Structure 1
Amino acid sequence: MAEPFKNLINADVVRQAGQHLGQALQATLPDDFHHAADVLEASFKSVTHVEDPDKELGLLRTDDTGLADWLERHASRTLIKQGHGRTLTLWGLGTAFDGNVRWQVSPKRIAIGESVALNLALASTSASTQALEIDYTVHHARAQGGASAKTFKGWRMSLAPGETLSLAKLHSMRPVTTRRYHPGEHQIDLRINGQIVAQAGFKLTA
């Protein structure tokens, strides 16, 4: 087993997560890195849902190897998407975006199975380079009313002083085995470094 894996398995983050995590990591490393990281993330979820996330974050960054850094970033995905302040600060994302945002979702009406286009224009007004973690949260209409929110990864980048940038992607509303869609209004929040900076929406039809 490679030394970085030994260091990770012996780290406090694994011991705090519980013996079951250590066994899972031992069983999967070094053959399946992604699965190991998912196990690590699941462990963080199980602990931070019942305890203070700040306590768990104190165990991060205990190994300065590139592999450990990747695993820690992978395991931090949920807290980053939730906009957890200390997690964002830990990864250099604790500062609000300094600039102008234009966020568009089109078309305004689609049928289940189709896609909406997400278009983002950024213009920095900062005097320094900004590290940006850009996510978006879709508020899916529920069959019984109300909405269910799910956050998706968007872009990760650096924006130079005065720089302008246009970004675009498609978001599919095609049903999959793990997600069903229902007709109704859908709102999409744009999040930059954990903060909601713009909102737009569309109507989904049967």
Structure 2
Amino acid sequence: MAELLKNEFNKDFVLLLGSKLAALDESFNIEGFISSTINENWESRELKDRMRHITNMIHAHTALNYVDQLNMMMELSCHFGGLKGMTFPDYVEVYGLDHPRESLVALKHMTQFSSSEFAIRPFIVKYEKQTMKAMYEWSADSNEHVRRLASEGSRPRLPWAMALPVFKKDPSSVLPILENLKRDESLYVRKSVANNINDITKDNPEAALELSQRWYGNHEHTNWIVKHGLRTLLKNGNKQALQIIGFDDKARFEVAEFNLSEEQVKMGESFQFGFKVSNLEPKEAFAKVGFVVSYQKANGSLSDKIFHVTEKEFASADAVLFNKKLSFKDLTTRKHHPGLHKIGVLVNGKKLAEKEFELLH
């Protein structure tokens, strides 16, 4: 997949971009741009390195100053979307930090055709008040891409981007933006708001929970955001998070007929397991069902990984059977180690049953 993505930045793109730049900029050295971009190191460059190299070569082959070049980049950005289009915000990120007013206008424009979520972050770090004021205004924009940038660009832990330590420490500057977007009609925007809240739960769970407590129950779009935004806390059985979205941690449930198809399994193989969840209450009760696997680590300790199964209303005395499969193939995110493992069934964050099994070489 990474190989396919980096090939978005290919020779055809460089030639097209060069020709469009030359058409707007008489000083642009198109021959030098192409030969220095598609050079002997081009094939070995990875995705981000290719984009950044193109950015640098654009700058190296024009006689224009940044502000004049920026006007051309804004005009051209309308013609390129997706990954290719991110070349234009990248140019702003690298060369525009000394021109915040012009650069913020450009990033707002460019994000409508690709995304400025990565490029905006150095401006937050260097010009926090000015940038966050602009982003707050963007959160009320008529364009969903601009509104999403206000949320996505301010995420404390945006993946593949520079972190924002100031917001990891105190997210209060982000919250007014999220307030503006809590009922957004665009699912594209709502997903970003939920992801921002999930980021906040990692460093400031109290702030995320307080926000969610105020929001939940006011609107269907807001409810979706809260539920998705609290997903990490819900997965880990946080009682307050469970209560906010309607799970009763005091409701009585029982797990029965918990069986593993194997008590020993080899590396790279899998096994089946099943269990029944019963509601012991005299009325319906809403429950979140999952399971937790305690994986053996290289140092001999165990590390828990929680898996979601379902969220549903259980009728009184209702017994629901669940059958699942667990694989022990190594992943990029998890390497398996032989030894004793455990698996438990979770209902509303409580472990109601547990069994042991052994992973063999």
Verify same fold: TM over 0.5. Answer: yes
Partner of 2:215: 62
Aligned residue among 72, 75, 80 for 2:234? 80
Which is worse superposed, 132-141 or 121-130? 121-130
CA distance change for structure 1 residues 114 and 30 in 2, over 3 Å: closer, same or farther?
Answer: same
1:69, distance to aligned residue in structure 2 (A): 1.3
Map 1:152-171; keep pairs closer than 5 Å.
152-171=307-326
- Contact 1:126/1:161 (<8 A) preserved: yes
Identity of aligned residues (%): 22
Please tell me whether Structure 1 or Structure 2 has the larger radius of gyration of its CA atoms.
2
CA distance change for structure 1 residues 43 and 56 in 2, over 3 Å: closer, same or farther?
Answer: closer
CA distance change for structure 1 residues 74 and 31 in 2, over 3 Å: closer, same or farther?
Answer: closer
Which is worse superposed, 121-130 or 34-43? 34-43
The TM-score with structure 1 as length reference comes to: 0.79
Partner of 2:303: 148
- Contact 1:136/1:152 (<8 A) preserved: yes
CA distance in 2, matches of 1:154, 1:72: 19
Partner of 1:47: 204
The TM-score with structure 2 as length reference comes to: 0.47
Unaligned runs of 5+ residues in structure 2 are 1-141, 157-166
CA distance change for structure 1 residues 99 and 71 in 2, over 3 Å: closer, same or farther?
Answer: closer
- Tell me: higher relative CO, structure 1 or 2? Use CA pairs within 8 A at least 6 residues apart: 1
- Contact 1:109/1:204 (<8 A) preserved: yes
- Contact 2:248/2:286 (<8 A) preserved: no
Please report the RMSD computed on the Cα atoms of aligned residues, expressed in angstroms: 3.1
CA distance in 1, matches of 2:318, 2:187: 41
Which is worse superposed, 33-42 or 131-140? 33-42
1:33, distance to aligned residue in structure 2 (A): 4.8
1:97, distance to aligned residue in structure 2 (A): 4.5
The structure whose residues are more often helix, as a share, is: 2
Instruction: State the 4+ residue runs in structure 1 displaced beyond 4 angstroms.
Output: 18-23
- Contact 1:97/1:192 (<8 A) preserved: no
The code of the aligned residue for 1:94 comes to: D
The structure whose residues are more often strand, as a share, is: 1
What SS does the aligned partner of 1:153 have?
A: strand
The code of the aligned residue for 1:47 comes to: N
